Amino acid sequence: MTEVIAAPSPLGAPPPDNILLDVRNLKTYFKVLDGVVPAVDGVSFSLERGKSIGIVGESGSGKSVSALTMMRLLDIPPAEIRDGEIWFDGREILHMPMEEMRKIRGNDMAMIFQEPLTSLNPVFTVGDQIAEQVERHKKVKRKAAWDRAIESLQLVGIPSPERRVKQYPHELSGGMRQRVMIAMALSCEPKLLIADEPTTALDVTIQAQILELLKTIQDRTDSALMLITHDLGVVAEMVDNVIVMYAGQVVEQGTVDEVLVNPRAPYTMGLLESIPTVEKRGGRLSAIKGTVPNPFNMPPACRFEPRCPYAWNLCAETAPDLYPAGPHGQHARCHLHTPAGAPRLPEALADHERKLNVGHGIS
Amino acid sequence: MESSTTPVRPDGPPPATPEVVVEGGADVTEMDPLEIARVGAGKTLLQVRGLKKHFPIVGGLLRRQIGTVYAVDGVDFDVNSGETFALVGESGCGKTTLGRSVLRLIEPTAGQITFAGRDISHISADELRPLRRKMQIIFQDPFGSLNPRMPVSDLIGEGLLAQGMKDRKARDKKVEDSLELVGLRREYTRRYPHEFSGGQRQRIGIARALALGPDIVVCDEPVSALDVSIQSQVLNLLLDLRRDLNLTYIFISHNLSVVQYFSDRVGVMYLGRIAELGSVEQLYKDPRHPYTVALLSAIPDPNPRKRKKRLVLKGDVPSPAAPPAGCRFHTRCWLREKLGNPERCVTEEPQLRNFGGGHQTACHFAEEISADTVSSAVETQSVLETAVADPV
Amino acid sequence: MAQEIERGAVVADVENRPEGPRTDYEVGLESLSQWQLAWRKFKKHRLALIGLGILIALVVIAIAGPIVMPFRFDSIARPDQIVYQGRGPSLSHPFGETGGLQRDVLLLVVNGARWSLLIGFSSMAIGVVIGTIIGSIAGYAGGAVDNILMRVVDVMLSLPILFVILVAARFFAGARDNIWTIIIIFGLFGWMGVARLVRSLFLSIREREFVEAARAVGVRDRRIIFKHILPNALSPIVVAASLIVAGNIIGEAFVSFLGYGVNPITPTWGNVLSSALTFIPLGNWWWPFFPGFAIILTVLAVNFIGDGLRDAFDPRSRA
């Protein structure tokens, strides 16, 4: 189980009260047989109360590890927290005793996983599992907890919840199970709901149901939402702000409206360019060349440099920071947004516009 | 089988000098005297009629059959030479089973499959083997579809061996050519699957299929297991190969954006049947089946400024072991609800009807679908009631 | 064909493709085979390494020991001084001497290693071969064949094996050198577990996509069994085999101890234990102790190795 990590001394100052979650320079590494994997390498972001944030990235980008670190669900070792602080609801949680963390987890902070079947216990009824959690966190009687379970099933649109609570997970369909997971997460009225690829395992029409449900719940409750996904379409619909991760780092952050419409990091640009659309029919898609770097052999400076169409020698020499890259607080980890890169920026943006709308080459 | 260094020419019409291409090696088409008529572009290459695949459900102590999964339940379609025909649908709709049955990797329960004018639905395994060269498949899972204990040279080469290319050198040459064809290095032949990334493995799977020189390739969700940035690479590769090798694809996918970009004609499947069939333009611009409408509405758009209210279907797909009577879609149909639940949907199974230009729909009330009915259905729906179709 | 010529053109063009691979960051640094990876993980398993060390030492003893210190039934150390009591460990006989014929216990243990290991490994080999063949047939053929073979397994498993072995040993006891009889009996009654394991492996591997892919290119059944399914079933079989070795060594000791095993004039560990039985009340602890300890040591070593192998082959444990 996760052990207490010695707190760095001294801790930084707590964030202002409207900030629910403040992640500061989080570094989670994995020690494996072959070496050390920097799964999360200096990630910082914050989330206001009641707002929503999306974390987008491909497999291995560190998006899920970030969430698991926040929930303190990683096994240490092989995981290792190298650095960072996480402030949640006014308290630092990354270094607090596990005992206290358990009181927060499932209560103030709840998580929805990708695979509902594997995260529900097959030998207990749905109601037992929800009620047990409510009993533990809210210190209420069994009867009240059971009522709460029925109520939360109702909240996620499950018909005849009084009967559903007595069912076992295997008796439910895939979409229904994901609803139960969400009901369970909501049962303690969490301040933060973390959804890790909540619709990836589901069919298109069920995905639509669940997304609409999550949106409705966002409107009706005060929960903040952290949505982890690889699907830009899901992010565009669901959240206010977005973080794009690549190879353990944040490469771009800002509002969805900015990041997905006017991307400023070449990786985000490339992702959007590569989405197949009607307009690109008949032509080839613009693809990001190569593959995600080997975590044991990260490019020394900018991690995207080997795949970047706009890279020049500076990119292979100096690692870029997150630089301001737009009017509404948008940031991008790219030298294009430094004085040195400024002359190259217009050309890069023009190239992006071109690739975004048409396929190229003849097929 | 003849040795590939001294190829025996088939008696049929001799093809043009294949030796030019692979010098010192033999061409796959020389490996077997079987001659398959080449089908001109635009002509019907594959014809499927009344195809059914039912799987028995066995249970109990005596392993007796206690039910039947109607995975594919009466499907007709044609695939023309040179086109990309897409099969879309949710899990359990039978698209994967259909793709496998067409290649006879799964024995169909009933129906007829005609490939290049030849009925292949009942031919024996030995007759089928040489035909496998012409009909290939690319799998979804780049990890599961490559034997972890085999080097690339065997993974790609064993098909050539099975088709009678006994000469090791010629085979290795062909393997290297295939690797290059899919954008991998020739030197990779001695490597094992775990040394490659997902995208590279998928390329190996493509090379394995193409090494045999097929005419038709079933692509079963070829990019859905890949990362976003790799998907477009593989789609581009498939496009290039289609052009360069005159391939015909059956493209199986659940991703409607990819299908719209990639294919020419589409068959939408629901519970083992084709609900709607037509060209991409017809289907995406003028869907005539309520299920197609809902599928299209469910696509999330990556542009946040185009946020839309979507049409959300109720409940889950019913089990293919107990498909609903009448129209299989009626339990979830928004149109039927809009029309006041007509009895006909429950009593009579709709057949595919023509809507002109090869556009076919299996819906009794296809004429009722319009922008107005769709938007009024979107307005009146309640997200919290979308789970009701599920029986407790 | 025209198609082929075009293909050549594509090949030449491949380097110019925009998504052309850049090797530096794409393929992993290591190119370890599955077995190399397994060995790396095995090395991390301390108990398994100790077990392997012990087993290697035992094998060396089993091979070289009898050459250095040969055992001859009719060579008796001091025929003139037959005594009832054995002698405890001393400098010249570190494991002590037996009562009666006053044999060196060390000599008995060293020579016993050869027989015990021979029995353990050979009978395992027979059992694994039979089990793999039967399991493969059942798993690949399925249907009625599978049903019949598995019912045979059920019947075999419901037999009181020990009793059957005792009877069989007695039945074949006439043979002068009956060590192979024992090995074959153990092999013939020790394959059912392997058969069940192999069958279930076949059932699951048969459904894997790479098998379907092989069928899609026209690969024949025989090659699918030997090149696709068996190699992927090998590691669980190896783990199971190591545990069978341990079981057979104990089994042999047990049967010999009861006097139904290997010809009593062969110094297997079980036989030595058996002959020590009557001397235990006389306080000759060293006589049963050392062969008994050798059995425990061997079985522990083999079990540790089995555990290590299981972890090493487990794809989920990477570190």
What average pLDDT does this structure show over C180-205? 88
What average pLDDT does this structure show over C88-108? 70
Residue C8 falls inside a structural domain: no
Give yes or no for C160 touching A (CB within 8 A): no
Residue C80 falls inside a structural domain: no
Residue C241 falls inside a structural domain: yes
Residue C288 falls inside a structural domain: yes
Cα A318 to Cα A299, A321, A349, distances in angstroms: 11, 9, 22
Domain that holds residue C145: 32-69+89-312
Contact B383 A237 (CB under 8 A): no
Q: Per-residue pLDDT tens for C11-24?
A: 323 333 334 333 33
Q: Which of B307-316, C191-200, C256-265 has the highest mean pLDDT?
A: C191-200
More confident residue, B20 or A311: A311
Tell me the pLDDT band of C85, cut-offs 50, 70 and 90: low
Partners of residue A293 in chain C, C-beta under 8 Å: 25
What average pLDDT does this structure show over A130-154? 83
| CB nearest A284 (choices: B236, B258, B385) | B236
Q: What is the 3-state secondary structure (H, E, C) of chain A?
A: CCCCCCCCCCCCCCCCCCEEEEEEEEEEEEEECCEEEEEEEEEEEEEECCCEEEEECCCCCCHHHHHHHHCCCCCCCCEEEEEEEEEECCEECCCCCHHHHHHHECCCEEEECCCHHHHCCCCCCHHHHHHHHHHHHHCCCHHHHHHHHHHHHHHCCCCCHHHHCCCCHHHCCHHHHHHHHHHHHHCCCCCEEEEECCCCCCCHHHHHHHHHHHHHHHHHCCCEEEEEECCHHHHHHHCCEEEEEECCEEEEEEEHHHHCCCCCCHHHHHHHHCCCCHHHCCCECCCCCCCCCCCCCCCCCCCCHHHCCCCCHHHHHCCCCCEECCCCCCEECCHHHCCCCHHHHHHHHHHHHHHHHCCECCC
**What is the ipTM metric for this complex?**
0.83
| CB nearest B105 (choices: C2, C208, C215) | C215
Tell me the pLDDT band of B7, cut-offs 50, 70 and 90: very low
Between CA A49 and CA A54 the distance in angstroms is 14
Partners of residue C28 in chain A, C-beta under 8 Å: 294, 296
Tell me the pLDDT band of A251, cut-offs 50, 70 and 90: very high
Tokens of B239: 């496009």
Q: What is the CATH number of the domain that holds C245?
A: 1.10.3720.10
More confident residue, B159 or C32: B159
Comparing A127-141, A328-342, C157-171, the range with the smallest average pLDDT is: C157-171
Comparing B212-221, B227-236, C261-270, the range with the smallest average pLDDT is: C261-270
Instruction: Tell whether the model's pLDDT for residue B25 goes beyond 50.
Output: no
Number of domains within chain C: 1
**Count of B–C CB contacts within 8 Å?**
130
Q: Of B91, B113, B110, B86, nearest to B102 (Cα)?
A: B113
With contact defined as beta carbons under 8 Å apart, do A266 and A304 qualify? yes
Q: Is B307 helix (H, G, I), strand (E, B) or coil?
A: coil
Q: What is the mean pLDDT of chain A?
A: 84
What pLDDT is stored for residue B49 in this prediction? 93
Q: Quick one: what percent of chain A has pLDDT higher than 70?
A: 94
Question: Could you say which residues from 70 to 129 on chain B have a Cβ atom under 8 Å away from some Cβ of chain A?
Answer: 90-91
Partners of residue A287 in chain C, C-beta under 8 Å: 18-19
Q: Per-residue pLDDT tens for A22-58?
A: 998 899 888 877 778 888 888 999 998 888 999 998 8
What crossing angle do the helices spanning A126-138 and A142-155 adopt, rounded to 10°? 120
What pLDDT is stored for residue B40 in this prediction? 63
Residue C83 falls inside a structural domain: no
Q: Which of B64-68, B166-170, C78-82 has the highest mean pLDDT?
A: B166-170
Q: Quick one: what percent of chain B has pLDDT higher than 70?
A: 86
Q: What is the mean pLDDT of chain C?
A: 76
More confident residue, B79 or A158: B79
Residue C308 falls inside a structural domain: yes
Comparing A65-69, B58-62, B205-209, B306-310, the range with the smallest average pLDDT is: B58-62
With contact defined as beta carbons under 8 Å apart, do B27 and B5 qualify? no
Question: Could you say which residues from 119 to 148 on chain B have a Cβ atom under 8 Å away from some Cβ of chain C?
Answer: 128-130, 132-133, 136-137, 139-141, 144-148
What pLDDT is stored for residue C28 in this prediction? 44
With contact defined as beta carbons under 8 Å apart, do B163 and B32 qualify? yes
DSSP label of C33:
-
Contact B240 C10 (CB under 8 A): yes
What pLDDT is stored for residue A170 in this prediction? 80
Q: Per-residue pLDDT tens for B70-113?
A: 999 999 999 998 899 999 998 888 899 999 999 999 899 999 99
Between CA B62 and CA B3 the distance in angstroms is 50
Instruction: Tell whether the model's pLDDT for residue C7 goes beyond 70.
Output: no
Q: pTM score, two decimals?
A: 0.80
Give yes or no for C228 touching B (CB within 8 A): yes
What average pLDDT does this structure show over B117-124? 88
Q: What is the mean pLDDT of chain B?
A: 83
Instruction: Tell whether the model's pLDDT for residue A63 goes beyond 90.
Output: no
What pLDDT is stored for residue C34 in this prediction? 66
Tell me the pLDDT band of A359, cut-offs 50, 70 and 90: low
Contact A299 C25 (CB under 8 A): yes
Instruction: Tell whether the model's pLDDT for residue B319 goes beyond 90.
Output: no
Residue C259 falls inside a structural domain: yes
> Rounded to a whole number, what is the distance in Å from the CA of C40 to chain A's nearest CA?
8
Residue C11 falls inside a structural domain: no
